[in-house]
Chain A
Amino acid sequence: MGGDGRHEDIGAWLADGYVTSFRTACLILGNRADAEEAVQEAFLRAWRFRTSLAPGSDVRPWLYRVVVNTCNSKLRSEIPHRDRRTGDGDLDDLVAAGDGATQVEQSGDIVRALQSLPVHLRVVVVLRYYADLTEREIATAIGRRPGTVKSRLHEARRLLAMHPALRSTDDRSELDDSEVAE
């Protein structure tokens, strides 16, 4: 999604960015249905307001910004008022998609750990380590300074390291390693 004539092609936008945007939203929202809604809304909104994008600028961080703002909007206004069982749907999805029991368990752990993070930290972690945006691009996407992004990433990794699900995963990995050694 560079700054070229593809700005005017919604098909190109979707082909380039839908899957990553959708999965980014899944990780942020922790819910597949909400993520699907949010990304659809974000793409339509971005498409409507595509004239506000300066010519020659990169669509990717801008599009992620729209996605993140839509997710934030959902987290703020819709999801808290809904009676939903957090995480169950995600895990079902993961079970359905996973190849093995360990993989599913680990995926569920990281999703749970992510959901335990505050939204502003969750967003930067997902954008950095899943969407693979640079710190500068994340800064553009969330409308903050790169320094803020860096400090948020630092804080997020520290909190994730302390999360029980990920710690137990590490311990379990160590245990598996020791069993293999024996």
Chain B
Amino acid sequence: MTMLDEGPLRASLVEAADGFPVSDDAIERIARAASEAGPRADVVRSMVPRSRWGRVALAAAAVAIVAGGVTVIGGAPGSSPAHRSAAGPSVAPGITGVAPSTTLPSGSPTSGGPVGSSSSSAGSGRGVGTSAPAQPSAGPGGSTPSPAPLPNGVVGQPAKVVTTGTIDLALGDSPLEPAVNRLTAIAVGSGGFVARSAVQVGPSNGTTPASGTLVLQVPQAAFSTVLTQVQSIAKVTSMTSTSTDVTGQYVDLQARIDALQASRQQYLTILAKATTIGDILAVQSQLDTIQSEIEQLQGQLDLLNGQTTYGSLTVSLSQSGHRAPPPPPPRSGIDRAWQQSVGGFTSGVEWLIRIAGRTVFVLLFLVGLAFAARWAWRAWRRTLL
């Protein structure tokens, strides 16, 4: 590869550069301009340590702060599953929301919107326990307050609340039919009825588990009692309860109906005074329209009335379909030690994988941050100088 020699290149450059004449007054001009402009007070720059180790320490501190922040931020979702897994079964029986059907005294109007909902899930076949759905949970560590009555509404109207709930019952090896009969009895006993039922019973040899779903319509006032009674039938695997306040909607419908009825009354007065056929037909047409609207709104009002009179509780029943496996025979000492060793190894690997994910994320984040900082630093220096 041909390359220009350094000596001749240097000589040529010096020769060429010497060919550029220097202005006589250039130095004086710069000195004069410089004397007019003092050194810039560089506040930002002064915050950066001058020494190399100072900068390294500053960078390390920044990295530590960022890493700490990332860990804290990353810790929240990371801890959630652990929290859930540890506390899940213990808190599952409690109803975290409000079951307004039981807390709402009749005649306490509220503003529109959902009143509340509650749900619970009992994992691994654990029982729901004795928590009453009507009792709102005060959260971990808190005492259970008595349910506060809803505030009086602005419309002077009894609260209209639509309550629905679902509950899943695990019957285990118990037969389905007695549970269905008992649910029916509960519904009827509370003044309600079974709106729908669907039962699937497997063959007589019991290889297919039986299951069923019943939709109970129970009076709003008895909803919480029914819920409690249903829970006592079998183990509850999950439960939800939702209440929606439709008072506003109800009042709105009622007001529109009242207005339309007043309007109809006026048209009737006009109709009585009408003398020509044309006037009578025109007024009659308006009356028909108003009557149609009234009936439509009245239908909606009736539907709302029905929904707020009865709460709907959907109960799912299921058999386990198999008996619990017999307990394993007692292990020998070596066997047990081997199993524990395998378990420990697996746990270790799981831990490593779990930690690695977050660490890799943090490292990637820091690398990206370092690149961005380096680029910004260079850009800043370039701008500065």
Interface residues of A (CB under 8 A from B): 10-11, 14-15, 18-19, 22-24, 26-27, 32, 35-36, 39-40, 43-52, 54-55, 65-66, 69, 90, 93-94, 96-98, 103-104, 106-111, 114, 125-126, 129-130, 143, 154, 157-158, 160-162, 166
Question: Which of the 9-residue segments B8-16, B118-126, B193-201 touches chain A?
Answer: B8-16
Residues of chain B contacted by A90 (CB below 8 angstroms): 20
CB distance from B165 to the nearest CB of A (A): 69
CB distance from B159 to the nearest CB of A (A): 71
CB distance from A14 to the nearest CB of B (A): 5
Question: Which of the 9-residue segments B35-43, B227-235, B242-250 touches chain A?
Answer: B35-43
Q: Would A129 and B9 count as touching, CB distance under 8 A?
A: yes
Residues of chain B contacted by A46 (CB below 8 angstroms): 385
Residues of chain A contacted by B22 (CB below 8 angstroms): 18-19, 22-23
Question: Which of the 9-residue segments B26-34, B267-275, B360-368 touches chain A?
Answer: B26-34
Q: Is B2 an interface residue (CB 8 A)?
A: yes
Residues of chain B contacted by A19 (CB below 8 angstroms): 22
CB distance from B385 to the nearest CB of A (A): 5
CB distance from A175 to the nearest CB of B (A): 16
Task: From B12, B21, B51, B385, give the contact of A49 (CB < 8 A).
Answer: B385
Q: Would B30 and A10 count as touching, CB distance under 8 A?
A: yes
Residues of chain B contacted by A27 (CB below 8 angstroms): 13, 16-17
Interface residues of B (CB under 8 A from A): 1-4, 6, 9-10, 12-23, 26-27, 29-31, 33-35, 37-40, 42, 45-46, 50-51, 378, 381-382, 384-385
Q: Would B17 and A26 count as touching, CB distance under 8 A?
A: yes
CB distance from B269 to the nearest CB of A (A): 85
CB distance from A27 to the nearest CB of B (A): 6
Residues of chain A contacted by B26 (CB below 8 angstroms): 18, 22, 36, 39-40
Q: Would A161 and B35 count as touching, CB distance under 8 A?
A: no
Whether A94 touches B19, Cβ cut-off 8 Å, given contacts A51-B39, A161-B3, is: yes
Q: How far is the CA of A26 from the CA of B19 in the complex (A)?
A: 10
Q: How far is the CA of A126 from the CA of B384 in the complex (A)?
A: 23
Q: Would A48 and B16 count as touching, CB distance under 8 A?
A: no
Q: Would A10 and B50 count as touching, CB distance under 8 A?
A: no
Q: Would B45 and A51 count as touching, CB distance under 8 A?
A: yes
Residues of chain B contacted by A130 (CB below 8 angstroms): 10, 13-14, 17
Q: Would A157 and B3 count as touching, CB distance under 8 A?
A: yes
Residue of B nearest to A47 (CB): B34
Whether A51 touches B42, Cβ cut-off 8 Å, given contacts A40-B26, A160-B4, is: yes
Task: From B3, B4, B17, B23, give the contact of A36 (CB < 8 A).
Answer: B23
Known: A51-B45, A69-B382, A93-B20. 7 other contacts (CB 8 A): A45-B385, A50-B39, A51-B39, A104-B19, A107-B12, A110-B15, A110-B16
- 10 A-B Cβ contacts within 8 A? A10-B34, A11-B31, A18-B22, A27-B13, A39-B26, A43-B30, A108-B16, A143-B378, A157-B6, A160-B4
Q: Would B39 and A10 count as touching, CB distance under 8 A?
A: no
Residues of chain A contacted by B10 (CB below 8 angstroms): 129-130
Residues of chain B contacted by A154 (CB below 8 angstroms): 3
CB distance from A109 to the nearest CB of B (A): 8
Q: Would A52 and B384 count as touching, CB distance under 8 A?
A: yes
Q: Would B16 and A162 count as touching, CB distance under 8 A?
A: no
